[in-house]
Amino acid sequence: MIGKNPTTIPRRQLGRQLREMRQAAGLSIADAARLIERGAGTLQRLEKGENPRIRLLDIEALCRLYGVGRDKLGALQALAKEADERMRPVDERVWWHRYDDLIPDDFETYMSLEAAAAQVIMYQPDVVPGVVQTPDYARALERTFFKSDTPMESEQRVQVRMQRQTAITRRLSPVELDLLVDEAVVRRIAGSQKVMAAQLRKLADVPPNVRVRVLPFAGGFPLGCAPGAFVILRFPMDFGTKEPVEPTTVYVESYGSRLYYDSAEVVDRYLEAHDQLSQVALSEPDSKHLLRQVAKEFES
């Protein structure tokens, strides 16, 4: 049985923000540690999210050293206080802060990881993932699930999904997306046949950094079971340490929960599952052909 939700993600995100602030200030770890009268090893562990205990006085001293404002200090202190619990990273600068009332705390954690990732590997057996949805497809899902929403709230939820897509469309360092979808995703109607046709054409015309493949019904059950949807997030390398800025993380979302795993054993298990699913998936050209073919069927 896979273990409990890890507690390292908030610490890693706190460490990443502190590291970015130090680098922006032009200081080495040794210099920053000396100036706040702490050991270089202590600061290095803090930046890597490996400190089991985080001193708020250290956070205050670092923020003062780096010249950041009170708002940022308060956000980092709040994150530090909750670093041993599942919680969202607090950063006033991110775009999704405008939608705090609509986004669950634990999903803000996912959006932060997705935006920071170098590669996102997804398997989705039921629905087109939000990061590649059309507005009309997203509306069809949101209006059904959030029946009590006002029209304005419903539209804001759609905007959140559309804004997430900038991670794969941005000009500088777009996220690489490797997407496996089951054939059920292609044929199950959300909204209307017209909505589905547009959605499938979008999947067939993705940018070069996005790879879409379809797992056909004829592929059966490559794992001998239905694994459910999952996401594997890989992060860019730190040029100083030559290591990823954060460990590869698996995100698993079900109807009632969101779980994050970063242990090597669990990550390897999901990578192996993805490899097995990939072996029976259609090639990219064949997948695009199927997407366009089914889009034509919906249009007719």
Confidence of residue 285 (pLDDT cuts 50, 70, 90): very high
Contact by Cβ (8 Å): 251, 231:
yes
Six-digit token string for 59 = 């956070």
- Residue 245: exposure state from Cβ atoms within 10 A (0-12, 13-18, ≥19): buried
Whether 103-299 and 8-81 are alike in CATH topology: the answer is: no
Report the pLDDT averaged over residues 103-118: 73
Residue 193 pairs with which residues in a beta bridge?
none
**What does residue 261 show for φ and ψ, rounded to 5 degrees?**
-130, 140
Is the pLDDT at 101 greater than 60? The verdict is no
Is the pLDDT at 117 greater than 60? The verdict is yes
Output 170 or 188, whichever has higher pLDDT.
188
Poorest-pLDDT segment among 57-66, 72-81, 160-169, 205-214? 72-81
What's this model's pTM, rounded to 2 decimal places? 0.70
Is the pLDDT at 188 greater than 90? The verdict is yes
Q: If you average pLDDT over each of 7-21, 169-183, 245-259, which comes out highest?
A: 169-183
d(CA 127, CA 148): 22
pLDDT of residue 6: 39
pLDDT of residue 88: 37
CATH superfamily, domain at 8-81: lambda repressor-like DNA-binding domains (1.10.260.40)
Output 54 or 32, whichever has higher pLDDT.
32
Is the pLDDT at 294 greater than 90? The verdict is yes
pLDDT of residue 87: 35
d(CA 180, CA 121): 8
pLDDT over 70, % of the chain: 86
d(CA 145, CA 148): 9
Six-digit token string for 217 = 């019904």
Count other C-beta atoms under 10 Å from residue 224's C-beta.
8
Query: What sign does the dihedral 210-216-217-221 (CA atoms) show?
Result: negative
Is the pLDDT at 279 greater than 80? The verdict is yes
**Domain boundaries defined on the chain:** 8-81, 103-299
pLDDT of residue 84: 46
CATH fold, domain 103-299, is Endonuclease; Chain A (3.30.870)
